[in-house]
Amino acid sequence: VSHMISEYRSGRTPNPDVLCNTRIKF
């Protein structure tokens, strides 16, 4: 989750699909 937040703060704004996949993995 921390990695996702870091990516978001970096300004990359991951795609919704990536966010969903991340949640499923965790």
Q: For every one of its 26 residues, what pLDDT tens digit does the chain have, with 9 covering 90 and above? A: 676 667 666 665 555 566 666 665 55
C-alpha 25/C-alpha 9 separation (Å) is 21
Q: Cβ contacts of residue 12 below 8 Å, gap of 6+?
A: none
What pLDDT score was predicted for residue 17? Answer: 63
- Please state the domain count of the chain: 1
Range of the domain at 12: 1-26
In sequence order, what DSSP letters do the residues of 7-26 get, joined into one string? HHHHT----HHHHHHHHHH-
Q: Which two tokens stand for residue 4?
A: 């996702």
